[in-house]
Amino acid sequence: MHRLSARIALSTAVVGAAALVPAAPVPASSPGQDIRQREYTAAAAAYGVPESVLLGVSYLESRWDTNAGTPSTSGGYGPMHLTDAEYVTALPSRSGNHHDHDGEDPRGDSSRPARNVDSGGVPAPAPEALQTLDRAAAITGASEADLRTTPSANIAGGAALLASYQRSIGGPAGSASDPAAWYGAVARYSGADSADAAAAFADEVFATIRTGATRVTDDGQRVALAARDVVPARDWLSRLGLRKLARPDGLECPTDISCEWIPAPYQELGGGDYGNHDKGNRPQQQKIEYIVIHDTEGYFQPSVDLVLDPTYVSWHYTLRSVDGHIAQHVKAKDVGWHAGNWYVNAKSIGLEHEGFAAQGTWYTEAMYRTSAKLVRHLALRLGIPLDRNHIIGHDNVPGTLAANVRGMHWDPGPYWDWSHYFDLLKAPFRTLGWPGSGLVTIDPDFATNKPAFVGCGSDPVAPCPPRGSSAVILRTAPHPAAPLIKDIGLRPGGEDATMHISDHGARASAGQTYAVADRQGDWTAIWYLGQKAWFHNPRSAPTAKWATGLVVTPKAGKATIPVYGRAYPEQAAYPEGMPYQTIAPLQYTLAAGQRYAVGNVLPGEYYRAVTFDGSSPGDWTVIRGEKKYVQFQFGHRLMFVDLADVSILPSPI
């Protein structure tokens, strides 16, 4: 479904921030578990960088992880995120954006012609910020291969770059020098092309130094940064000579992250057509229920270029990987064309993150943090709950009709760290359940949960790089060799599911809550797409947390009930002369005896928007009826049932 691009894009600016929790005391390390810590100490001493600065920069880039020597979504390698655009260019082809080539209509509204435009892919040249590995190699004498794959070499390369940046602005050198005086060098390390972006990155690094951090890396190394009260000397930023971003009134971003206004065009195209979004009056006219997390399947600048095309599609924000910089394109009051489901589009804000769900690449900490700050800001302002029923992935959005189910997207994919993201949102996955409480919230240990996915490169059956994942694999029986659960929406012919990276029909994701169907030893079964779906959930290393809440089940006397991909009102609610949007069920049904976790109870709504100027009778209005729907976790995607068809009960029942 996804295609990738041939060149690294223009990516250069900031990191946003979210305050870290204070560092916990560091448990005693076992032999060999403190190697990484010593590598940071050695590199700081060798290149004359305060160790706290080196650790703080590295944490913000990668959380000290190695990511098995594979590139980030902006072509960065290792704990120090040394970028190597030229090398990544030679990897399996990357082209276009995930709204290209795949048959999905991002607008998702049958009242208008499908919006499915092939842009042909828009490659972009790599700026200096995406080629830092070469300079690190020149300074240290290490080979480029070692800088990409050997943690000690990579850390030394990052230290060498920081030291060179400090020298270039005339700052004090030496590992014993005052960390506060390294603000300018840290800001330059971000690769930012604006003072706002560079400052946001540096501020987050120094916030990390002040609070401290400790964790075990993805390769089992314990690293700690002791909290230190440092007040950075921000005057050093002026020596970088960076431009100052304009920040117009009405920009819908928190003030402590780097954000700019690059508006999506709204214009007539002739023949009654227009693009690339719809005017609205949200939340006054219609409540915004969802924030949808996407990845671009393309690079930052080409993706921004696409949203600037009036004949194309739109989303509200694009986030850059290398530094977390944000471009806003559409105001929250207006409706973007991004989710492939008009009901969800009309009630959501879309965030596109520079990245590649299909390539086994990793999302940078800089982008996670800026995204979390933005989402928390929007959620608090708009009254959107910070949970997985409302902060959703594009892969959680259902098809509108049975025919659309197979073409729906699956980004940001199984390598998006939902648990860490919600920690940054200050809304961690905490539950109050027990083994008999009837619900489970999926929450595997991201670092050690490494499903054996395939197809991350050009070979559809080649193993993906071992990578931490939010996804838990679902099987038909409590055994690791049992077949995967089948999704009739993805495979109408009943073909077996696969472990291909894009085949999400037999997966549950961190933060999603399901009703327990059975338990057997170290295995737990949940109700999923009308089936018992088993996942490994041992007491010694649980992949889910017991939870409490409400469940939905068919009313007494109903053998099955229909399931929907949108919550539209009944025909009687439409004004005379206005076309009725059919309430059409999907190919799934909910059977008696099955239970599913309730996410929301919603009124049936349809936002009518089919003309450029609102001139059509009833245009730019929200149609509401008497019908109400229950949003519930049916499979990997959320879906809806008619409230009149079901009973809502506390779990356990």
pLDDT digit string, tens, across residues 479-527: 999 999 999 999 999 898 999 999 999 999 999 999 999 999 999 999 9
- The answer to whether residues 76 and 171 belong to one domain is yes
C-beta contacts of 462-466 below 8 A and 24+ residues apart: 464/360, 464/501, 465/68, 465/70, 465/360, 466/68
Task: Give the pLDDT score at 648.
Answer: 98
pTM: 0.93
Final residue of a structural domain among 207, 240, 273: 240
- The answer to whether residues 55 and 183 belong to one domain is yes
DSSP state of 462: S
CA 193/CA 625 separation, integer angstroms? 51
- The answer to whether residues 570 and 439 belong to one domain is no
Task: Give the pLDDT score at 274.
Answer: 94
CA 588/CA 239 separation, integer angstroms? 61
Decide if 463 contacts 452 (C-beta within 8 A).
yes
Q: State which amino acid sits at residue 449.
A: N
Within the chain, what is the greatest distance between any pair of CA atoms? 79
Which helix (H) or strand (E) is 515 found in, with range? strand 513-520
- The answer to whether residues 161 and 81 belong to one domain is yes
CA 159/CA 153 separation, integer angstroms? 10
The answer to whether position 522 is within a domain reads yes
CA 365/CA 92 separation, integer angstroms? 24
Query: Could you tell me the sign of the dihedral formed by the alpha carbons of 61, 62, 66, 70, in that order?
Result: negative
Strand pairing of 317-319 and 348-353?
Answer: parallel
Phi, psi of 459 (to 5 degrees): -90, 115
Domain count for the chain = 3
The answer to whether position 624 is within a domain reads yes
Which of 13, 3, 5 lies closest to 327 in space, CA to CA? 13
CA 191/CA 377 separation, integer angstroms? 25
The answer to whether position 444 is within a domain reads yes
Final residue of a structural domain among 541, 566, 584: 541
> For the stretch 192-229, what's the b/e string if a residue is b when 16 or more beta carbons lie within 10 angstroms of its beta carbon?
bbbbbbbbbbbbbbbbbbbebbbbbbbeebbbbbebee
- The answer to whether residues 616 and 470 belong to one domain is no
Task: Give the pLDDT score at 93.
Answer: 47
- The answer to whether residues 578 and 535 belong to one domain is no
CA 451/CA 195 separation, integer angstroms? 41
CA 200/CA 323 separation, integer angstroms? 9
- The answer to whether residues 162 and 55 belong to one domain is yes
Which of 119, 117, 39 lies closest to 80 in space, CA to CA? 39
Burial of 495 (0-12, 13-18, 19+ CB in 10 A): exposed
Domain span holding position 523: 429-541
CA 623/CA 636 separation, integer angstroms? 29
CA 325/CA 363 separation, integer angstroms? 14
| Residue 271 CB contacts under 8 Å (≥ 6 apart), including other chains | none
CA 442/CA 507 separation, integer angstroms? 10
Decide if 192 contacts 14 (C-beta within 8 A).
yes
Structure tokens at 52: 């706290």
- The answer to whether residues 80 and 226 belong to one domain is yes
The answer to whether position 213 is within a domain reads yes
| Residue 421 CB contacts under 8 Å (≥ 6 apart), including other chains | 368, 371, 372
Q: State which amino acid sits at residue 471.
A: A
| Residue 178 CB contacts under 8 Å (≥ 6 apart), including other chains | 50, 172
41: CATH: 1.10.530
| Residue 647 CB contacts under 8 Å (≥ 6 apart), including other chains | 552, 553, 554, 555, 556
DSSP secondary structure letters along 359-426: TT-B--HHHHHHHHHHHHHHHHHHT--SSTTTEEEGGGPPPSSGGGGGG---TT-TTS-HHHHHHHTT
The answer to whether position 246 is within a domain reads no
- The answer to whether residues 564 and 623 belong to one domain is yes
- The answer to whether residues 444 and 569 belong to one domain is no
The answer to whether position 300 is within a domain reads no
CA 482/CA 425 separation, integer angstroms? 37
CA 241/CA 168 separation, integer angstroms? 12
Task: Give the pLDDT score at 99.
Answer: 53
The answer to whether position 49 is within a domain reads yes
Low-confidence ranges of the chain (pLDDT < 50): 1-29, 93-96, 100-101, 118-126
Query: Could you tell me the sign of the dihedral formed by the alpha carbons of 215, 414, 344, 571, in that order?
Result: negative
- Structural Rg of the chain based on CA atoms: 25
The answer to whether position 527 is within a domain reads yes
Our CA dihedral for 263, 264, 266, 271, rounded to 10 degrees, sits at 160
Number of Cβ within 10 Å of residue 532's Cβ equals: 17
Q: Which residues pair with 439 in a beta bridge?
A: 515, 547
Residue with tokens 């659309």: 404
- The answer to whether residues 59 and 170 belong to one domain is yes
- The answer to whether residues 469 and 562 belong to one domain is no
CA 556/CA 537 separation, integer angstroms? 32
pLDDT in tens, 84-130: 978 876 665 444 455 544 556 888 887 777 765 544 443 443 467 78
CA 75/CA 132 separation, integer angstroms? 10
Number of Cβ within 10 Å of residue 170's Cβ equals: 10
Structure tokens at 524: 């737990």
| Residue 25 CB contacts under 8 Å (≥ 6 apart), including other chains | none
Final residue of a structural domain among 521, 541, 561: 541
Structure tokens at 218: 């993805």
